[in-house]
Amino acid sequence: MNISKYKFLKYTINGNRLFISILIGIVFICSVSGQTDRQVITLEKNWKFIKADVKNAQQIAFDDSTWETVTVPHDWAIKGPFDKEIDKQTVAIVQNGEKVATEKTGRTGALPYIGVGWYRNQFSLPNFSSEKKVILLFEGAMSEPEIFLNGKKIGSWNYGYSYFYFDITEHILANQPNTLAVKLTNVGLSSRWYPGAGLYRNVRLIVKNKTSINQWGTFITTPLITKNLAKVHVKTKVSGKQLKLVTTIKDADGKIVATNTTETIFDNEFEQNIAVKNPVLWSPENPYLYTAVSQLYAENILKDETETRFGIRDINYEAERGFSLNGKITKFKGVCLHHDLGPIGTAINKSALRRQLRILKDMGANAIRSSHNMPSLEQLELCDEMGFLFLAESFDEWAKPKVENGYHRFFETDAEKDIVNLVHATRNHPSIVMWSSGNEVPDQWGSQGAKRAKWLQDIFHREDPTRPVTVGMDQVKATMASGFGAVLDIPGLNYRTHLYEEAYEAFPQGLILGSETASTVSSRGIYKFPVEAFKMKQYDDFQSSSYDLEACSWSNIPDEDFVLQDDNPWVIGEFVWTGFDYLGEPTPYDTKWPSRSSYFGINDLAGLPKDRYYLYRSRWNTEDETLHILPHWNWEGREGETTPVFVYTSYNSAELFINGKSMGIKKKNNSTPKHRYRLMWMDVKYQPGTIKVVAFDDDGNPAAEKEIHTAGKPYKLVLESDRKTIKADGKDLAFVTVSVVDKNGIPCPTATNQLKFKIKGDGIFKAACNGDATSLEPFHLPTMKLFSGKLVVLVQSNSNAGKINLTVSGNGLKTEKIIIQTKI
**Residues annotated as part of the active site:** 440, 516
Separation between Cα atoms, residue 703 and residue 696, nearest integer Å = 5
Asked if 276 and 290 touch (Cβ cutoff 8 Å), the reply is yes
Other residues' Cβ atoms within 10 Å of the Cβ of residue 416: 15
Asked if 648 and 655 touch (Cβ cutoff 8 Å), the reply is no
Handedness of CA 605, 606, 607, 613 (dihedral sign): negative
Q: What are phi and psi of 531, to 5 degrees?
A: -85, 105
- Residue 389 to residues 324, 460, 493, Cα–Cα distance (Å): 12, 18, 18
Asked if 332 and 389 touch (Cβ cutoff 8 Å), the reply is yes
Separation between Cα atoms, residue 470 and residue 487, nearest integer Å = 10
Separation between Cα atoms, residue 283 and residue 330, nearest integer Å = 10
Q: What are phi and psi of 506, to 5 degrees?
A: -80, -40
Tell me which amino acid residue 425 is: A
- Select from 41, 47, 42 the least CA-distant residue to 76: 47
* Pairing relationship of beta strands 512-518 and 313-318 according to DSSP bridges: unpaired
Asked if 398 and 408 touch (Cβ cutoff 8 Å), the reply is yes
Asked if 710 and 742 touch (Cβ cutoff 8 Å), the reply is no
Terminus-to-terminus CA distance in the chain, angstroms? 54
Asked if 444 and 26 touch (Cβ cutoff 8 Å), the reply is no
* Pairing relationship of beta strands 290-298 and 301-310 according to DSSP bridges: antiparallel
Separation between Cα atoms, residue 288 and residue 281, nearest integer Å = 6
* Three-state DSSP class for residue 46: coil
Handedness of CA 603, 609, 612, 617 (dihedral sign): positive
For residue 209, give the H/E element and its range. Answer: strand 203-209
For residue 615, give the H/E element and its range. Answer: helix 611-620
Asked if 521 and 542 touch (Cβ cutoff 8 Å), the reply is no
Asked if 610 and 522 touch (Cβ cutoff 8 Å), the reply is yes
Separation between Cα atoms, residue 787 and residue 755, nearest integer Å = 11
Separation between Cα atoms, residue 585 and residue 580, nearest integer Å = 13
Asked if 729 and 752 touch (Cβ cutoff 8 Å), the reply is no
Separation between Cα atoms, residue 165 and residue 205, nearest integer Å = 9
Tell me which amino acid residue 117 is: G
- Residue 174 to residues 27, 62, 766, Cα–Cα distance (Å): 16, 21, 38
- Select from 609, 696, 159, 51 the least CA-distant residue to 364: 609
Total number of residues shown for the chain: 824
Separation between Cα atoms, residue 313 and residue 62, nearest integer Å = 50
Gyration radius (Cα) of the chain, Å: 27
* Three-state DSSP class for residue 502: helix
Question: Which residues pair with residue 763 across a beta bridge?
Answer: 797
Other residues' Cβ atoms within 10 Å of the Cβ of residue 383: 23
Separation between Cα atoms, residue 269 and residue 265, nearest integer Å = 6
* Three-state DSSP class for residue 365: coil
What is the number of helices (H) and of strands (E) in the chain? 10, 52
